[in-house]
Amino acid sequence: MLEASTLPSPPRLTQARADLTREVSVVDESGQVSRIRIPAERDLTVYVDKRELVTLMTLGAHPEWLVLGYLLNQRLVGSVQEIESISVDWEVGAAAVVTRQGIDRIEERTARRVVTTGCGQGSVFGGLMDDVDRIQLPPQARLRQSQLYEIVNTIRLHDSTYKTAGSVHACALFAGEHLQLFVEDVGRHNAVDTIAGWMALQPALPAGERVFYTTGRLTSEMVIKSAQMGVPVVISRSGTTEMGLNVAERVGLCAIGRAKHRHFLCYTHPERIVFDAPPPTAA
């Protein structure tokens, strides 16, 4: 195992930015014209070592993190050290990834694509369940009920594109009840990939304290990506799918849905919740 001092330097990243919303004219039900803002959506074609890989539809808030997280969550690279640089150019809508040693069997590994339930039709390469049984989440990780309520309230109060323009999904990473990163995009799969990319560039976060929040439903894709990121607890404003529930049960992930105000439903591994808050009073 390499010592920290001998590890390759982090990848070089551009800091390309784009406007997240644009102003448009609309006509309401009374025939009145007004100006509102809507989320921007742009295509970003990813090239790996000059080979076209995929085109992502995104707001473009943090495109370099998005591309890095996408490669990690697709299991095309095993660590951030395998990437030399990621350069994004919005004038041509392209992200150029340079690896240090190439991606082994890239043609074979990207030959089969599964279209997922992600907004905008997300997709993953290969089988969704590949290597799931190798995932090991911190067995002692717990989330206090009071922390869960703090997380839901933090999201409720957070300034967001959704509040001003709608039509986006949000994901957030917490350490306990403390917000680490909040990301919005046109699809929840992009938002979780962006967070995965950011996490890969940070000093080690306490694994047992990682909590992931999403406004989208807990599909198999979201649960697998969260587990790959070492997150033992996932909270959703929405619900779960059958496959999402099955995968969460299988990997030891605590899946919490319908989390609004002081209400929630725990679908899997309730032993990870410490019930330290009084139940909500009936309305």
14-31 per-position pLDDT tens digit: 999 888 888 999 999 999
134 domain-assigned: no
133 domain-assigned: no
For residue 86, give the nearest of 116, 119, 62 by alpha carbon.
62
In CATH, what number is assigned to the domain containing residue 206? 3.40.140.10
48 domain-assigned: yes
CA separation for the pair 120, 116 (Å, rounded): 9
- Considering the domain architecture, whether residues 114 and 148 belong to the same structural domain is answered as no
Whether 46 shows a pLDDT value over 60: the answer reads yes
User: Residue 267 in contact with residue 259, Cβ under 8 Å?
Assistant: no
pLDDT of residue 161: 75
CA separation for the pair 49, 100 (Å, rounded): 9
CA separation for the pair 192, 222 (Å, rounded): 8
Confidence band, pLDDT 50/70/90 cuts, at residue 6: low
189 domain-assigned: yes
Higher pLDDT, 254 or 130: 254
- Count of all residues that appear for the chain in the document: 283
User: Residue 234 in contact with residue 251, Cβ under 8 Å?
Assistant: no
Q: What is the pLDDT of residues 236-245, one digit of tens each?
A: 999 999 999 9
Q: How would DSSP label each residue in 58-91?
A: E--SSHHHHHHHHHHHTTS-SSGGGEEEEEEETT
How many Cα atoms are found within 13 Å in the side-chain-facing hemisphere of 127? 4
280 domain-assigned: no
22: which residues sit within 8 A by CB, 6+ positions away?
Answer: 37, 38, 40
DSSP 282: P
Q: What is the pLDDT of residues 158-170, one digit of tens each?
A: 877 766 766 678 9
Considering 127, 154, 184, which residue would you say is the last residue of a domain?
Answer: 127
- Considering the domain architecture, whether residues 84 and 12 belong to the same structural domain is answered as yes
- Considering the domain architecture, whether residues 8 and 120 belong to the same structural domain is answered as yes
Whether 51 shows a pLDDT value over 90: the answer reads yes
Residue 175, domain extent: 143-274
CA separation for the pair 184, 191 (Å, rounded): 6
**What number is the average pLDDT over the span 208-236?**
93
User: Residue 201 in contact with residue 229, Cβ under 8 Å?
Assistant: no
- Considering the domain architecture, whether residues 154 and 263 belong to the same structural domain is answered as yes
| Catalytic residue status for 254 | no
Whether 3 shows a pLDDT value over 70: the answer reads no
- Considering the domain architecture, whether residues 183 and 210 belong to the same structural domain is answered as yes
Percent residues over pLDDT 90 in the chain: 65
Whether 98 shows a pLDDT value over 70: the answer reads yes
- Considering the domain architecture, whether residues 246 and 156 belong to the same structural domain is answered as yes
CA separation for the pair 230, 152 (Å, rounded): 21
Considering 97, 127, 157, which residue would you say is the last residue of a domain?
Answer: 127
pLDDT of residue 119: 46
Provide the mean pLDDT of the chain: 88
Q: What is the pLDDT of residues 143-201, one digit of tens each?
A: 999 999 999 999 999 877 766 766 678 999 999 999 999 999 988 899 999 999 999 99
- Considering the domain architecture, whether residues 165 and 208 belong to the same structural domain is answered as yes
- Considering the domain architecture, whether residues 113 and 149 belong to the same structural domain is answered as no
136 domain-assigned: no
Q: What is the pTM of this model?
A: 0.87
- Considering the domain architecture, whether residues 156 and 116 belong to the same structural domain is answered as no
Q: What is the pLDDT of residues 102-132, one digit of tens each?
A: 988 877 767 655 545 444 445 555 555 667 8
pLDDT of residue 7: 65
**What number is the average pLDDT over the span 65-78?**
94
> How many domains does the chain fold into?
2
Give the Cα-Cα-Cα angle 234, 144, 151 (nearest 5 degrees): 55
pLDDT of residue 120: 42
Sign (positive or negative) of CA dihedral 151, 152, 155, 157: negative
DSSP 119: T
pLDDT of residue 187: 86
Where do the DSSP E strands lie in the chain? Answer: 12-13, 21-27, 33-39, 42-48, 51-58, 83-89, 94-99, 113-115, 123-125, 143-144, 169-175, 178-185, 210-214, 233-236, 254-260, 263-266, 273-274
282 domain-assigned: no
In CATH, what number is assigned to the domain containing residue 10? 3.10.20.10
